[in-house]
Amino acid sequence: MVLTQNTPRSVSVQNMAARAPVQTGKFLLGFRKWYYNLCGFNKYGLMSDDTIDENSDVKEALKRLPENVYNDRTFRIKRALDLAMKHQILPKDQWTKYEEDFPYLSPYVDEVVRERKEREEWTKK
């Protein structure tokens, strides 16, 4: 059987092809949420940027954070350490949700890295 534009089967193939990006997007979103919960830091009330390893670039970015954001980060980390020492987690309604987690530190880190690379380029000349 040859599929042409007029065959009913080709319509369903076209519909499936049109829906594929949507289905893939939903699948990836579901996978991201699953992996986010699997990591476990949200059970302590941490955000993903709270888990970034503190190298020299991150330390400089932390200095540039607004005071209230820095204080919120410090509170989350101290609470997580306290819970970990007690072998406890937060009640589920207090877990950080995937939708509430946003990159508050990453833009500052990117800026610091960009500036460092620019300085290195200038020193090479």
Per-position DSSP letters for 28-72, written without gaps between them: HHHHHHHHHHHH-GGGGT--GGGGS---HHHHHHHHHS-HHHHHH
Q: Are residues 12 and 46 in the same domain?
A: no
CATH code of the domain containing 91: 1.10.1090.10
For residues 32 and 46, state if they share a domain. no
Question: Do 56 and 97 share a domain, yes or no?
Answer: yes
- Give me the domain span that covers residue 107: 40-124
51 and 33 in a common domain: no
Q: Are residues 62 and 112 in the same domain?
A: yes
Q: Are residues 78 and 18 in the same domain?
A: no
pLDDT at 5: 53
Q: Which amino acid is at 53?
A: D
What's the total number of domains in the chain?
2
Q: What digits encode the pLDDT tens for the residues 10-19?
A: 555 555 555 5
The arithmetic mean of pLDDT across residues 44-73, rounded, is 97
Tell me the pLDDT tens digit for each residue of 83-106: 999 999 999 999 999 999 999 999
Do both 60 and 112 map to the same domain?
yes
State the chain's mean pLDDT as an integer. 87
The confidence band for 1, taking pLDDT boundaries of 50, 70 and 90, is very low
Higher per-residue pLDDT: 45 or 2: 45
Q: Are residues 44 and 100 in the same domain?
A: yes
Reference 98, options 30, 52, 51, 50; nearest CA is: 30
Q: Is the pLDDT of residue 117 over 80?
A: yes
The verdict on 3 and 28 lying in the same domain is yes
What pLDDT is attached to residue 26?
Answer: 84
